[in-house]
Amino acid sequence: MVEPLRMITPQERSKAIAEAGYNTFLLRSEDIYIDLLTDSGTNAMSDRQWAGMMLGDEAYAGSRNFYNLEAAIQKYYGYRYITPTHQGRGAENILSQICIKPGDYVPGNMYFTTTRHHQEAAGATFVDVVVPEAHDPSDESLFKGNIDLAALSALIERVGADKIPYVCVAATVNMAGGQPISMTNMKAVRALTRKHGIRIFLDATRAVENAWFIQQNEPGYGDRSVAEILLEFCSHSDGCTMSGKKDALVNIGGWLALNDKHLYEEASALVVVYEGLHTYGGMAGRDMEAMARGIEESVQDDHMRARIGQVRYLGEKLHGWGVPVVRPIGGHAVYLDARAFYPHIPQDQFPAQALAANLYEDSGVRAMERGIVSAGRDKLTGEHHHPKLELVRLTIPRRVYTQAHMDVTAESVAAVWDERSRARGLKMVFEPKYLRFFQARFEPI
Ligand SMILES: *Cc1c(COP(=O)(O)O)cnc(C)c1O
């Protein structure tokens, strides 16, 4: 997809961000110069994918595109039973409903917004069991997405295995800065959970990017292809939820994959309630075809090298200039450390939200808050969660921007960094009930 970029004046940007309540989610796309809000559904599709869009079999049931998609997931991810869903959260809803009983605990390597919401809505308490270094933006460990095995064991000991329906393993960990989990850790989690009869479900949204980090950084995997590593990685889990809008190089779609036939039957019964028939799950035939082809393109080593190489280019440039970013640079985004930008703004005045707004005002680059606003409130006490990480995410869409766009972005971040002592906090003037970061509104203090 090729489209023109438009740049509006600084005065127009100040007006636009004020009208958007200082929330970048509420800006209009046409007022953005470079859009790094998210890598979700912002992928540019290839010639082969667009050709596939012309081959949509829009039958209500048993579309040939479904079988192509099923075959691609079985081949590259290795799971047995698959149902499409309209996007990742559709799969999360169904998995949570079929597996969780009220009073259960779901451990995971850091929360993700929609994932935790569905787990809690089904009656579970989310327990963060990511390794401690994940919470330290300057720690240079290579696999900061790993699960803390001692913390997981302690939880099993404390609440009992029968209260833990599954471990939710995310690869790579979005909220920690796109940080990968190692194969060694995944195997160890498998060994531990097997002893207790606990399942593992993968949030496979960026598992291909995770496989690339294993290839690059884990001993023994340097000469294996990304595709081979992905297949091995998934083999240590019992199924996955997937947002195809990320790794799978499409604009919409997702799936739920399960190896257990009985669980799949339960899932199918709910898919027809929330998504659509189990052979389309809320997706058009043409979109399933594009996703089937996107999966195959996504596991090519050259694609991953270019994709993650671009993210790294931006991150290393900023790091080289002394701008505080989460280290090491992750797979899909560069994360600015808003605490280090604005030590004078207390967390309750939303420093990352303010930083994202300031970046937009400077250059029209749109980023996303990943800090206290995204973390939401404790479901029992109603207090803000206070995450250790207070970040702004510069998320790079796949196959969309050039190195020149990365340079413009880096220069704008540097300009905002130079002005940091003048920045002020925000107060929240409207707070939605669920997933507040999407729609909350703010005013400058
Ligand atoms: C985007 C995302 C989801 C949710 O998927 P949607 O397609 O947006 O519903 C779940 N987990 C992670 C890690 C994600 O990045």
Cα 9 to ligand 1 centroid, rounded to whole Å: 33
Q: Is the CB of 115 under 6 A from ligand 1?
A: yes
As a whole-number percent, the residues of the chain with pLDDT over 90 amount to: 98
Please report whether residue 2 resides in a domain.
no
Q: Is the CB of 114 under 6 A from ligand 1?
A: yes
Look at residues 237, 239, 241, 230 and name the one whose alpha carbon lies nearest to residue 281.
Answer: 241
Q: Which of 94, 113, 114 has most ligand 1 atoms within 8 Å of its beta carbon, as the pocket-test mutant?
A: 114
Cα 348 to ligand 1 centroid, rounded to whole Å: 26
Please report whether residue 4 resides in a domain.
no
Catalytic residue set: 60, 112-113, 203, 246, 370, 437
Q: What is the pLDDT of residue 93?
A: 98
Last residue of one domain, picked from the residues 298, 320, 339: 298
Q: Is the CB of 87 under 6 A from ligand 1?
A: yes
d(CA 336, CA 55): 42
The pLDDT tens digits for 171-200 are 999 999 999 999 999 999 999 999 999 999
**Are 417 and 393 contained in the same domain?**
yes
Q: Give the predicted TM-score (pTM) of the model.
A: 0.96
Average pLDDT over residues 334-341: 98
Q: Is the pLDDT assigned to residue 241 strictly greater than 80?
A: yes
Cα 114 to ligand 1 centroid, rounded to whole Å: 7
Q: Is the CB of 275 under 6 A from ligand 1?
A: no
Atom 5 of ligand 1, nearest CA residue? 88
Q: What is the pLDDT of residue 118?
A: 97
Atom 14 of ligand 1, nearest CA residue? 205
- Angle 106-282-95 (CA atoms, 0-180°, nearest 5)? 15
**Are 84 and 229 contained in the same domain?**
yes
The pLDDT tens digits for 411-434 are 999 999 999 999 999 999 999 999
Average pLDDT over residues 43-65: 97
Q: Is the CB of 89 under 6 A from ligand 1?
A: yes
Last residue of one domain, picked from the residues 272, 298, 324: 298
**Are 144 and 268 contained in the same domain?**
yes
d(CA 13, CA 361): 5
Atom 10 of ligand 1, nearest CA residue? 88
Return mean pLDDT, the chain: 97
**Are 204 and 100 contained in the same domain?**
yes
**Are 154 and 260 contained in the same domain?**
yes
Cα 223 to ligand 1 centroid, rounded to whole Å: 30
The pLDDT tens digits for 124-162 are 999 999 999 999 999 999 999 999 999 999 999 999 999
Give the chain's domain count. Answer: 2
Q: Which of 205, 250, 335 has most ligand 1 atoms within 8 Å of its beta carbon, as the pocket-test mutant?
A: 205
Q: Which atom of ligand 1 is nearest to the CA of 245?
A: 7
Q: What is the CATH number of the domain that holds 330?
A: 3.90.1150.10
Q: Is the pLDDT assigned to residue 1 strictly greater than 80?
A: no
Q: What is the pLDDT of residue 138?
A: 95
Q: Is the pLDDT assigned to residue 167 strictly greater than 80?
A: yes
- Contact by Cβ (8 Å): 156, 147: no
**Are 53 and 79 contained in the same domain?**
yes
Q: What is the pLDDT of residue 363?
A: 97
**Are 281 and 333 contained in the same domain?**
no
d(CA 336, CA 315): 9
**Are 349 and 238 contained in the same domain?**
no
Q: What is the CATH number of the domain that holds 96?
A: 3.40.640.10
When mean pLDDT is compared across 188-197, 221-230, 375-384, the lowest value belongs to 375-384
Please report whether residue 3 resides in a domain.
no
As a whole-number percent, the residues of the chain with pLDDT over 70 amount to: 100
Q: How confident is the model at residue 3 (pLDDT cuts 50, 70, 90)?
A: confident
Q: Is the CB of 88 under 6 A from ligand 1?
A: yes
**Are 267 and 311 contained in the same domain?**
no
Please report whether residue 228 resides in a domain.
yes
Average pLDDT over residues 298-314: 98
**Are 237 and 133 contained in the same domain?**
yes
3-state secondary structure the chain: CCCCCCCCCHHHHHHHHHHCCCCHHHCCHHHCCEECCCCCCCCCCCHHHHHHHCCCCCCCCCCHHHHHHHHHHHHHCCCCEEEEECCHHHHHHHHHHHHCCCCCEEEECCCCHHHHHHHHHCCCEEEECECHHHHCCCCCCCCCCCECHHHHHHHHHHHCHHHCCEEEEECCECCCCCECCCHHHHHHHHHHHHHHCCEEEEEHHHHHHHHHHHHHHCCCCCCCCHHHHHHHHHHCCCEEEEECCCCCCCCCCEEEEECCHHHHHHHHHHHHHHCCCCCCCCCCHHHHHHHHHHHHHHCCHHHHHHHHHHHHHHHHHHHHCCCCECCCCCCCEEEEEHHHHCCCCCHHHCHHHHHHHHHHHHHCEECEEECHHHHCECCCCCCECCCCCCEEEEECCCCCCCHHHHHHHHHHHHHHHHCHHHCCCEEEEECCCCCHHHCCEEEEC
Q: How confident is the model at residue 364 (pLDDT cuts 50, 70, 90)?
A: very high
Q: Is the pLDDT assigned to residue 14 strictly greater than 80?
A: yes
Average pLDDT over residues 29-56: 97
Average pLDDT over residues 379-401: 95
**Are 101 and 69 contained in the same domain?**
yes
**Are 166 and 227 contained in the same domain?**
yes
d(CA 399, CA 401): 6
Please report whether residue 38 resides in a domain.
no
Q: What is the pLDDT of residue 379?
A: 83
Please report whether residue 355 resides in a domain.
yes
Q: What is the pLDDT of residue 2?
A: 79
Please report whether residue 1 resides in a domain.
no
Q: Is the CB of 117 under 6 A from ligand 1?
A: no
Last residue of one domain, picked from the residues 275, 298, 321: 298
Question: What is the domain range of residue 23?
Answer: 10-32+301-444
When mean pLDDT is compared across 253-262, 340-349, 375-384, the lowest value belongs to 375-384
Cα 109 to ligand 1 centroid, rounded to whole Å: 15
Please report whether residue 42 resides in a domain.
no
